[in-house]
Amino acid sequence: MEVRPIAGALGAEVLGVDLAKKFPEKEVRKAFLEHQVIFFRDQTLDPAQFLAFARTLGRPVEYPFVRGLEGFPEVIEVKKLEHERHNFGGIWHSDTAYLEAPPMGSMLIAREVPPFGGDTEFASQYRAYEALSEGMKNLLSGLKAVNSSAKADVSRTREDRIKEQGGESKELTGVHPVVRVHPETGRKALYVNVAHTVRFDGMTEGESAPLLQFLFRHQVKPEFTCRFQWRVGSIAFWDNRCTQHNPINDYHGHRRVMHRVTLAGERPA
């Protein structure tokens, strides 16, 4: 097995493994914790095999608001069709920060990709926190943020899918530290995001906005990021506790179909 970094801040390709067979789980886990997001190429996993791979590294859980595949409720389809203009989750975010216990990580496998475009960007929230001044770190220490599933920037595609599936929407809210400590590495990471974070706990939205807007811009600076180009059979596995991601919506008129598994996490601290 070879681990090949793709950028200075985060991200590495893991080469020489077939995830449909036995693989070195400890080494994969080590690469995941070190590089925050890892990528695999040319993996021919059906939904059952994809779910089995996920179970070696965490506990798959159902994704809120979106129904899973028939027979595989923990595997959801992330799809944009030729006529659609909005992609699912098309904004910088960490997954479902509005839950009491947001996911540890997520896995995505490419089933159909457009002839161009459709890349995903990832941003290291370790690097974003570490680049702040000591004064800003002191200011953020002890602050908590209110995160909501109803924030308008991300509700469009979610609401569309709920209507298609005949479901009902309810607002979910999670209050978490602005700076969280990773439970496995002990490193500190920024934990706010433009898609879900509404305000600081104990403050109004107006009072919170100036500092939040600074953090939203800061935490996705190019030097904190990497970018992944998908091929059919590619897999990305990212650490939701210390990264954000952004699926780029630049392939109108083409299909993009992915399968995704979410892994259970713990309450941020």
Report the pLDDT value the prediction gives residue 155, as an integer from 0 to 100.
41
Report the pLDDT value the prediction gives residue 168, as an integer from 0 to 100.
53
Distance (Å, whole) CA 179 – CA 130: 11
Stated pTM of the model: 0.93
Is position 199 annotated as part of the catalytic site?
Answer: no
Report the pLDDT value the prediction gives residue 90, as an integer from 0 to 100.
82
Q: Which of 180, 196, 245, 256 is catalytic?
A: 245
Distance (Å, whole) CA 255 – CA 145: 36
Judged by DSSP in three states, 153 sits in helix
Report the pLDDT value the prediction gives residue 67, as an integer from 0 to 100.
87
Report the pLDDT value the prediction gives residue 160, as an integer from 0 to 100.
46
Q: List, run by run, the mean pLDDT of 10-residue segments along the chain (269 residues).
A: 98 97 95 98 96 96 88 93 83 94 97 97 98 98 94 48 54 96 98 96 98 98 98 98 96 95 97
Report the pLDDT value the prediction gives residue 159, as an integer from 0 to 100.
40
Distance (Å, whole) CA 172 – CA 127: 29
Q: In what order do the strands lie in the sheet with 197-200?
A: 173-177, 144-148, 197-200
Instruction: Identify the structural domains of the chain with CATH numbers, from first to last.
Output: 2-263 (3.60.130.10)
| Residue 62 DSSP label | P
Q: Which of 196, 241, 256, 260 is catalytic?
A: 260
Distance (Å, whole) CA 145 – CA 147: 6
Report the pLDDT value the prediction gives residue 156, as an integer from 0 to 100.
47
Report the pLDDT value the prediction gives residue 47, as an integer from 0 to 100.
96
Q: Which of 93, 176, 256, 259 is catalytic?
A: 93
Q: Which of 95, 180, 241, 256 is catalytic?
A: 95
Q: Which tokens hold the place of 1?
A: 């097995």
Is position 93 annotated as part of the catalytic site?
Answer: yes
